[in-house]
Each structure stands twice: as structure tokens, then as C-alpha cells.
């Protein structure tokens, strides 16, 4: 655990963690019990830490002695969450932050400088596009957005000064797949770091670091919490990057994760594997069900045979994910009619929740984009994004059938 004492017990704990399989790491990774021997992870709701002497304070501030200093820099509950995430991802190190957007922003800003170039896939979460298109250029950073599915475009758009590549796969909301290994190879030719927003795939379904990516970011708000309670985010990668490039940026800019939220996320991780597998089973069945309903013109789900990149999706993801997107007849009016008739599934822009949530990306998450750019991304006026929850499939099917019957 970063910033804490390296006792004998901890060393053997780490050694054991290394051999555990994912489901065990999700439940026990990073766990360090206090002297009370509590079974559940302790919640250290404290902003500061006391020192036994003035000399001890001095040594800790000089980073010459282990231990926590201030919760903006590190906190035992947050560190447990970071260690557990790193163990699951197979990353050397991780830092947790207050939201997914704090993670995306910090992953980019901690390493970029004026004169750098950033290359990104066009199909991104709306706020990620805002950072790349609106914020970075204000600081003298050039950015290029391309169609992420076209490898020739990655090859032709990369420049000698490309410092970072940013992408999301599957993408939100059109579930486009980017070939991670191929893009990582292109990035290596100029020494660019590949940052993957792995929210839709989760650490259970896809391991970007094994495919050659350098940095993985998460919104823990989504599947990691999984029950719609807390915001959170994380950045994972090599120890040198996390400790020497990212950590100073986080320490001095302060997007810290609350220990309480870290504790909720730890409890979320314990059931992540179970939940994700059930989400995926439900989503795959709902996708096939929707495809058989008359008003549905198109269903997008990565593991369906009619997904144009099904083979790539199956090669780099274990299952198809929790999100199904579909286009209904009648454009915006058709889509709004369906939303307003739903009785069980909630209209909400969150995803990865135990509750099934549905939204109309064109007027919510992606409303900032001009209509032509939305259409270029395949976000039609009738497109709906459904995050399939953990309810009984028969109830979900009944609700969708009646909402789409009119
Ligand atoms: C939700 C989301 C984010 C942002 O996460 P927050 O926790 O809401 O800040 C970033 N990327 C993707 C793909 C997301 O779905």
C-alpha cells in the first residue's frame, strides 16, 4: 500500500495477492486490517494524520519515512481501493480520484505540454470530447479526432510529436470497437502513450494493458459502484508514470476521492465479477429480443453477428457488455414515445447500474454536438442507449414490448 508502513504481514499479503485469481482479488485485494481485526474494510474518514514527534513529521514530509500525511495525498481506505483495482487490472499501480472525468483530465493534463499533439477516436463520451476539443487547444496542444475503427487513419494521423492517444472501446453510445493491439503498435512507432477509457468493458471483460495500452482510466461511478450511489474514478498504469508523473499533479490539484466513496467502491468490487456476468447475459438476451420487435430498425451489441466488428469484439472482450443501443422507427418522436411509455426501466443517463436505465443520447449525453457530427457518429434521432440491469428478464421484456407496441 503506497504511503503506508511495509510490515512483515503486508509483504506476505502482497505475495499471496499476486497468485490469486480475479474473483478472489475482487473480494480481498489490498485488504489490510487494523488492530481490531475487522472483517470488512475499515473506513478511515479522516482528512489528516498525527505524528509521534516533530522529527517524524519532518521525515514523512521528506518522503523518508512511510505513512500518510494528508488525505489529499493519500488515505488508507482510498489506498486499499487503489491496490485492489491495480491487482484486478494487472497494473503496477493505480490512483483513485473523485470522478471518471477527473481521471480522464488528470491522465492527460499531468503529462501534456504546449506543442504536444493528441490523437483521439471521434466516438467518445461527451465530456471527454470537450476536454480534447475545447480545453487542450487553449494550452497550445493540437488535437486530432478520427474514426477509431479505421486503422489507416490512425497510421496517417499520428505525428512525431503525438504524446498521447485517447480512445474508448466499446464507445458510447454506438458501441464501436477499436483494435487496441493495432493502435498500441502504431503509438509505439512515435513513443506516444495510449490511454484507454475502459468504462464500457470494465476490468472484468477487457484488459487494455495486456494488449499494449499504457494507461487505463475508469469512471468507478458506473459498474464498479454498480448501484448508483457514489462518483469515483481511477487511473492505472506503470509505477514510474503513476508515482512520478501523475501523483504530483493529483497532490497539488486535489481531485481526491472521498474515503467514504472509496469504501463504497470497495464493496462494489466484491460483487463486480458476478454482476458483470449477469449484466452481460441479460444484455445479450435483450439485444436479441429487441431485434425481433417491429419498430426496432437496428440493434447494436458487440457480440451480435450483425455487429460489423463482432470478431474484433470477441477477440479483445470476454463478453459483450451491459449496454445495448437500438434505433426505433419514427426518429425523435418514436424514441421519446418509447421512453415515455416505459414503466419499469428508468430514463436516466447513468449506466452500469443494477437498475435498467435508458437514455436518448441525441438530446442528453451528446446534445452538445452539432446535428451533422452526431449523424457522422451514427447517433440517429431514433437512437436509444439501454444499460441493462439485473432485474428479471421477463419483466424487462414485457416493459420494452409494451413501450414499443404503440
Ligand atoms: C461516465 C463516463 C465517464 C465520466 O465519468 P464520471 O464518473 O461521470 O465523471 C467517462 N467515460 C465514459 C465512457 C463514461 O461512461
Which of 99, 219, 234, 365 has most ligand 1 atoms within 8 Å of its beta carbon, as the pocket-test mutant? 219
| pLDDT given at position 193 | 98
For ligand 1, the distance from its centroid to the CA atom of residue 100, given in whole angstroms, is: 5
Question: Which pLDDT score is estimated for 158?
Answer: 98
Could you tell me the distance, in angstroms and rounded to a whole number, from the CA of residue 219 to the centre of ligand 1? 5
The Cα–Cα gap between 54 and 45 comes to: 24
Q: 191: CA distance to ligand 1 center in Å?
A: 27
- CA 135 – ligand 1 centroid, Å: 17
User: Is the beta carbon of 172 within 6 A of some atom in ligand 1?
Assistant: yes
Residue nearest to atom 10 of ligand 1 (CA): 100
In this structure, what C-alpha cell is assigned to residue 331?
426518429
Pick the CATH number of 112-203 from 3.40.50.880, 3.40.50.12280, 3.40.640.10, 3.30.390.50: 3.40.640.10
Q: Where is 236: in which H helix or E strand?
A: strand 233-237
Strands 162-168 and 346-347: unpaired
**Which residues in the chain are classed under CATH 3.90.1150.10?**
273-405
Query: What pLDDT is attached to residue 13?
Result: 52
Measured in Å, residue 232 CA sits from the centre of ligand 1 at 9
Q: How far apart are CA 150 and CA 167, in angstroms?
A: 13
202 Cβ inside 6 Å of ligand 1: no
228: CB partners within 8 A, 6+ apart: 350, 353, 354, 355
Q: Please name the residue that has the C-alpha cell 470476454.
A: 318
Query: Quick check: CB of 353 below 6 Å from ligand 1?
Result: no
What does the pLDDT read at residue 3? Answer: 42
Ligand 1 contacts CB of residue 107 (under 6 A): no
Per-residue pLDDT, 9: 41
The alpha helices in 215-360, defined as continuous H runs, are 239-240, 247-253, 259-270, 272-291, 310-316, 331-341
Tens of pLDDT, residue by residue, the chain (406 residues): 444 433 334 444 555 566 899 999 999 999 999 999 999 999 999 999 999 999 999 999 998 999 999 999 999 999 999 999 999 999 999 999 999 999 999 999 999 999 999 999 999 998 999 999 999 999 999 999 999 999 999 999 999 999 999 999 999 999 999 999 999 999 999 999 999 999 999 999 999 999 999 999 999 999 999 999 999 999 999 999 999 999 999 999 999 999 999 999 999 999 999 999 999 999 999 999 999 999 999 999 999 999 999 999 999 999 999 999 999 999 999 999 999 999 999 999 999 999 999 999 999 999 989 999 999 999 999 999 999 999 999 999 999 999 999 7
Q: Say if ligand 1 is within 6 A of residue 141 CB.
A: no
Predicted TM-score of the model (pTM): 0.95
Q: Give the whole-angstrom CA distance, residue 150 versus residue 390.
A: 35
Cα gap 324→284, rounded to integer Å: 8
With a 6 Å cutoff on the Cβ, whether 30 touches ligand 1 is: no
> Ligand 1: which of 96, 99, 100, 202 to mutate, most ligand atoms within 8 Å of CB?
100
Ligand 1 centroid from CA 353, angstroms = 13
Q: Is 225 touching ligand 1 by the criterion CB < 6 Å?
A: no
Read off φ and ψ for residue 157, nearest 5 degrees: -90, -15
pLDDT at 17: 61
Does ligand 1 lie within 6 Å of residue 177's CB atom? no
pLDDT at 122: 95
**CATH class of domain segment(s) 273-405:** alpha beta
Class of domain 1-99+221-270: alpha beta
- Going across the sheet that includes 383-387, the strands are 296-300, 323-328, 383-387, 357-359, 346-347
**Per-residue cell: 206:** 477487457
Residues forming CATH 3.40.640.10 domain(s) in the chain: 1-99+221-270, 112-203
Please give the number of the atom of ligand 1 that sits closest to the Cα of 221. 7
Amino acid at each position: 500500500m503506497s504511503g503506508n508502513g511495509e510490515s512483515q504481514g503486508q509483504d506476505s499479503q502482497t505475495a499471496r495477492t499476486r497468485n490469486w485469481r480475479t474473483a478472489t482479488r475482487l473480494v480481498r485485494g489490498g485488504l489490510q486490517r487494523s488492530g481490531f481485526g475487522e472483517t470488512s474494510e475499515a473506513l478511515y474518514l479522516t482528512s489528516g494524520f498525527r505524528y509521534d514527534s516533530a522529527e517524524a513529521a519532518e521525515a514523512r514530509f521528506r518522503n523518508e519515512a512511510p505513512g500518510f500525511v494528508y488525505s489529499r495525498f493519500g488515505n488508507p481506505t482510498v489506498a486499499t481501493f487503489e491496490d485492489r483495482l491495480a491487482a484486478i487490472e494487472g497494473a503496477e499501480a493505480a490512483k483513485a480520484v473523485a470522478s471518471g472525468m477527473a481521471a480522464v483530465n488528470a491522465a492527460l493534463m499531468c503529462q501534456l505540454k504546449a506543442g504536444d499533439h493528441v490523437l483521439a477516436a471521434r466516438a467518445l463520451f461527451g465530456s471527454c470530447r470537450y476536454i480534447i476539443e475545447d480545453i487542450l487547444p487553449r494550452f497550445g496542444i493540437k488535437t486530432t479526432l478520427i474514426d477509431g475503427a479505421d486503422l489507416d487513419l490512425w497510421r496517417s494521423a499520428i505525428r512525431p510529436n503525438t504524446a498521447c492517444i485517447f480512445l474508448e472501446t466499446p464507445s458510447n453510445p454506438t458501441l464501436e470497437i477499436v483494435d487496441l493491439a493495432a493502435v498500441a503498435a502504431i503509438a509505439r512507432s512515435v513513443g506516444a502513450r495510449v490511454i484507454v477509457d475502459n468504462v464500457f468493458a470494465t476490468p472484468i471483460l477487457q484488459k487494455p494493458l495486456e494488449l499494449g495500452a499504457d494507461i487505463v482510466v475508469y469512471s468507478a461511478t458506473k459498474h464498479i459502484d454498480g448501484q448508483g450511489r457514489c462518483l469515483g474514478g481511477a487511473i492505472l498504469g506503470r509505477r514510474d508514470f503513476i508515482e512520478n508523473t501523475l501523483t504530483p499533479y493529483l497532490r497539488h490539484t486535489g481531485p481526491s476521492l472521498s474515503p467514504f466513496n472509496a469504501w463504497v467502491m470497495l464493496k462494489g468490487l466484491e460483487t463486480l465479477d458476478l454482476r458483470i456476468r449477469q449484466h452481460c447475459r441479460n444484455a445479450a438476451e435483450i439485444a436479441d429480443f429487441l431485434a425481433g420487435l417491429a419498430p426496432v430498425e437496428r440493434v447494436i451489441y458487440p457480440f451480435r453477428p450483425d455487429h460489423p466488428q463482432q470478431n474484433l469484439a470477441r477477440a479483445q472482450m470476454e463478453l459483450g457488455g451491459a449496454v445495448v443501443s437500438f434505433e426505433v422507427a419514427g426518429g425523435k418522436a418514436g424514441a421519446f414515445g418509447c421512453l415515455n411509455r416505459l414503466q419499469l426501466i428508468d430514463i436516466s443517463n447513468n449506466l452500469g447500474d443494477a437498475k435498467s436505465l435508458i437514455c436518448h443520447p441525441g438530446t442528453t449525453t451528446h446534445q452538445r454536438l452539432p446535428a451533422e457530427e452526431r449523424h457522422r457518429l451514427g447517433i440517429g434521432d431514433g437512437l436509444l442507449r439501454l444499460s441493462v440491469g439485473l432485474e428479471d428478464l421477463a419483466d424487462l421484456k414485457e416493459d420494452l414490448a409494451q413501450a414499443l407496441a404503440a
